[in-house]
Amino acid sequence: MRSARVAHAGAVHTAVPLPPADGRTSLHLADGRVVREDQVVWLPPFEVGTIIALGLNYAEHAKELAFNAREEPLVFLKGPNTLLGHRGFTRRPEGVRFMHYECELAVVIGARARDVSRAHALDHVAGYCVANDYAIRDYLENWYRPNLRVKNRDGATVLGPYLVDAEDVPDPGNLTLRTFVNGKQTQQGNTRDMITDIPALIEYLSSFMTLSAGDVILTGTPDGVVDVETGDTVVCEIEGIGSLCNTIVSDTVFGR
């Protein structure tokens, strides 16, 4: 099953997609109404708890950034205001030289996990969605310790469009990821190339912190990141999960 959360007519609704008609996607709201996807404001598709992000979790991406191998996963936390829904707008600050997308598989925790073994890790997963975690290279002080301006900017982490139930994703360790900028493919990878795979991530994280329902793990991005400019439309796709679209805008749109 796929489910979304959207704002419409002054309220927040859960919704499920209907089969496309005339090239458009419609949503069936929980109250029975049917609306077009462009008639709603898309929100992250579930009530988000702690946002846990992985850096440099694909070998080729680490090589792309000239970063050497490490002994433990590079993990950092993100604030709630970083999140944005499908079809939203992400700001490119005035004067920055390099801002890039990061297409990532997002793993959503469904049941409390503490000291979970690798063998049972996926039992604690509710589902998956697509994430696009933008970064501004200008602000990066240290590849091993991403600073707040790189990874905690308002509206710089797009999540959605749907939460896909774990039972509908039989092999999350073998999914193709692709990114398109203005219709041109610029990135492709596969989750099988993660340095630390999903069961190992859950085992590692739960060894020192309790994971709760609604927590989300952003599992890193493959190589192929390029600079994006104001006006660019970026689409991140993950096989079997969905296509997540958003647009880059300037400071003026936000009154800055």
pLDDT 10s digits, 46-105: 999 999 999 889 876 445 554 555 668 889 999 999 999 999 999 999 999 999 999 999
* Below-50 pLDDT ranges, the chain: 61-62, 66
By C-alpha distance, which of 127, 128, 42 is closest to 86?
Answer: 42
HSE, CB side, 13 Å, CA atoms: give it for residue 203.
11
Domain architecture of the chain: domains with CATH: 1-43 (2.30.30), 46-254 (3.90.850.10)
Give me the phi and psi of 46, to 5 degrees please.
Answer: -155, 165
Q: Which positions ≥6 away from 89 have C-beta within 8 Å?
A: 155, 246, 247, 248, 249, 253
Q: Can you count the helices (H) and strands (E) in the chain?
A: 3, 19
Cα 23 off chain centre by: 25
* pTM of the entire predicted model: 0.93
Which amino acid makes up residue 87? R
The predicted structure's pLDDT at residue 70: 60
Q: Which residues pair with 184 in a beta bridge?
A: 181
The tokens for 98 are 């390099």
Reduce the DSSP state of residue 145 to 3 states and report it. coil
Asked if 79 and 216 count as a contact pair (C-beta separation under 8 A), the reply is no
Strands 125-133 and 103-109, sheet pairing: antiparallel
Cα 251 off chain centre by: 23
Which letter, b or e, does each residue of 227-240 get, where b requires 16 or more Cβ atoms within 10 Å of its Cβ?
ebeeebebbbbbee
